[in-house]
């Protein structure tokens, strides 16, 4: 089994103890662990010791059977964007403020590993959005948006004028909207509006 681990860079001392204990347990179980470089470096800074990992990866250069996300819903959403094209299930451990998506307690991480090993879990499929900016009026900074688990917001910038958004679904015209912007949401919806 291979697990890729992502997390917010600021964790409480208690959460760090849970995370490092889990990493030690995964190593003892001979489970391959890859950790996102930014999260790995933050853990090393906060603990002052090397962290148990088989791989430290950047960008999309990883393979895994499962992903663990340590943080709040924002961390979960960033993790989902990173693993979307790989279709890897994510378990969100809440060390943040909100827990609509990252609903597992970090103190229960060891129990979740036991459930994964025994096959005692179900995978909940979620819809994703992929955003692409096209056309000569689209700024260069909006290309390559990638995937969104919750929503994509298209907003006007640096203008008091309305914008026109032409929405297409799989290349087929849906509607044209004029206004300050447009939010397109998946059934997961925006945790910010909950």
Alpha-carbon distances of 104 from 10, 53, 75, rounded to whole Å: 18, 22, 13
Q: Where are the alpha helices (DSSP H) in 29-119?
A: 37-47, 73-83, 109-118
Cα 97 to Cα 74: distance, rounded to the nearest angstrom: 10
Beta bridge pairs of residue 178 = 164
Cβ atoms < 10 Å from Cβ of 55? 16
Active site residues: 73
């Amino acid at each position: 089994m291979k697990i890729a681990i992502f997390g917010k860079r600021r964790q409480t001392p208690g959460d760090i103890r849970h995370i490092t204990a889990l990493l030690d347990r995964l190593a003892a179980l001979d489970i391959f662990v890859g950790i996102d470089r930014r999260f790995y470096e933050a853990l090393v800074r906060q603990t002052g010791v090397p962290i148990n990992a088989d791989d430290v990866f950047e960008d999309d250069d990883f393979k895994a059977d499962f992903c663990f996300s340590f943080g709040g819903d924002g961390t979960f959403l960033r993790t989902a964007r990173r693993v979307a094209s790989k279709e890897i299930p994510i378990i969100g451990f809440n060390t943040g403020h909100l827990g609509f998506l990252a609903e597992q307690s970090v103190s229960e991480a060891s129990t979740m590993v036991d459930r994964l090993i025994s096959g005692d879990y179900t995978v909940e499929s979620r819809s994703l959005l992929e955003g692409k900016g096209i056309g000569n009026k689209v700024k260069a900074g909006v290309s390559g948006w990638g995937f969104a688990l919750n929503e994509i917001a298209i907003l006007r910038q640096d203008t008091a004028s309305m914008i026109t958004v032409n929405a297409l679904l799989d290349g087929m015209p849906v509607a044209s909207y004029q206004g300050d912007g447009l939010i397109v949401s998946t059934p997961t919806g925006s945790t910010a509006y909950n």
